[in-house]
Amino acid sequence: MAPSAQHPRRPGPDPLWLAAALGLAVALAIPFFLIDVPPVLDYPNHLARYFVLAHPDDPVLARMYAPRWAILPNIGMDALGAVLLRWTDPHLGGRLLLALSLVAPVAGVVAYSRAAFGRFTWWPLASGVVAWNAVFFLGFMNFLLSVGLAFGAAALWVALDRRGHRLRAAVVTAIALAAVFFCHIFGVLLAALLIGAYELARLAAAARNGTLTVGEGARSCGTVAFALAPAATLYLASPLAGDSTPGTWDIAQKAFVVFAPFTVYSAALTVATGLAVFIVVVLAGRHAVFARGVPLALAALGIVFLVAPSTLKGGTFIEARLALMVVLVMFAGMQPRLPRPQAMLAAVVLSALIGIRTLHVALAWHDHRQDVADVRSVIAQVEPGARVLVARGHPGPITAGVSPPQRALPGLYRLDGHLGALLVIERRSFWPLMFADPTQQPLAVKPPYDRIAQPLGEPVDWPLLLQDSFSASDLAAARYLPEWRTNFDHVLLIDPPTPLQLPRGLTPRASSPYAVLY
């Protein structure tokens, strides 16, 4: 029996569900009022790019950067930011965009569940337990927006198909997937998987009923192909299609990132959340109802997770993204069937976890204000137009013993590597790590600054500046190291090591416990 037959349509959500949804939205929004630069890895770098794109005529920044809009599957947030930051304070507009990346997957899950089951239900709201996750804290804003839009596009397909509007479904979905493409290619792949699995399940049901015909199969394939064609054409026209960078495969990382959907700044809370959700899903899944095609989609995502590389075509943490997609599909396409006492207990546990995790994030963001203040206090000495090399006192991959905890995701990566981007936003100065890769971002670094830029790099480790010569791997990671004393006006050190050795030729100009300017 189709899910829509089991769950008759209702005109809208009941008031209690609306209150719960509003409460979830308000709770998730609270941390964004506590700090203007949250401890999210890539966020300051993204915000700096949005700021430059929104002010292309700035007399200082225009000497360094130029907009370069093109067909790229990673620019949805850039387009929004280029408009929004023209009219708002950069930190207010940036937080609005960061909050959008947080809530978009949850909203997409709710939309898909509504289309698949014919009514608003409680289980999709439980996806708020994974709103705070490793992918968000790593700052993959375009990816998260694309995931939310992908669920929305698949929901459109299902809703229109249920009404018998298959041609309209193909046309509307084709337009929607073209928009998803400009956010992230993974969003297109997720929508294609959900739609393809839905169609395969529909054809399988027709075959079991003896009503499947060759013509119906051909029409199904044709409508899916039509819906995907614009996004596929855009991909082939983009620089990413020609990128043949080989990926890396890491079995140890796969075993760890299964907790990525639940990762926050605390390892204990991460593991506790993962185990609690696993237990609830095991109990609920025994008698759950799945939306059409969702079991197939989950199986396909699981296989892709196992075989996918850790990096691919410039993208990193591929398994973490896939793990999050698996969990979100589970919340979107499953309806638990628990006895009332167990259902109430699960609701209490998941609601408590959402509250505890949000409180944990809020406290961490509040404490992070001191780190941001320390960086601001030293870069206040930097002149507009100055060139600043940014170094870190501790390697990014080493997270053990990091204190305070909001400076790192346990077992994954430090989160303070891009705070130097405040130099662009607040001092209109140049730093070499601006995200301006031609295959990913609509921004170009102008000559002569391009010779000392590393668009997708990380800050150099402080000990490198103590050396007088550099290896090939050093230069591959930071091509600006030769003659760095001549090419840069200042060096900004984030989180100084102890003891602190001073490279030749550097003189402290401003210092704080967390940052030093030379």
Q: Is 503's pLDDT higher than 80?
A: yes
| pLDDT for 11 | 57
User: Do the beta carbons of residue 9 and residue 115 sit within 8 Å?
Assistant: no
Averaged pLDDT for residues 287-310: 93
Phi, psi of 8 (to 5 degrees): -60, 150
Average pLDDT of 322-333?
97
**Is pLDDT above 80 for 192?**
yes
Comparison of pLDDT for 239 and 234, the residue scoring more: 234
pLDDT-wise least confident of 191-200, 313-322, 422-431 = 313-322
Each residue's pLDDT tens digit, 406-423: 999 998 899 999 999 999
HSE (CB half, 13 Å, CA atoms) of 367?
12
444-448 own/partner pairs: CB under 8 Å, 24+ apart: 444/65, 444/66, 444/67, 444/68, 445/64, 445/65, 446/63, 446/64, 446/65, 446/66
pLDDT at 6 over 50: no
CA-nearest of 237, 229, 189 to 70 is 237
Record the pTM.
Answer: 0.95
- Confidence bin at 244 (pLDDT 50/70/90): low
Is the pLDDT reported for residue 256 higher than 90? no
Question: Shortest CA distance to 440 belongs to which of 149, 146, 76?
Answer: 76
Report whether pLDDT(2) > 60.
Answer: no
The full set of domain ranges for the chain reads 367-517
Of the chain, the percentage scoring pLDDT greater than 90 comes to 83
pLDDT bucket at 319, cuts 50 / 70 / 90: very high
Per-residue pLDDT for 9 more than 70? no
Summarize the confidence of residues 359-371 as an average pLDDT.
97
Q: Does position 1 have pLDDT exceeding 60, yes or no?
A: no
The better pLDDT of the pair 337, 273 is held by: 273
User: What per-residue confidence (pLDDT) applies to 8?
Assistant: 46
334 near 288, Cβ under 8 Å?
yes
478: exposed, middle or buried (Cβ count in 10 Å: 0-12, 13-18, 19+) = buried
Give, to the nearest 10 degrees, the angle between helix 318-333 and helix 294-307: 170
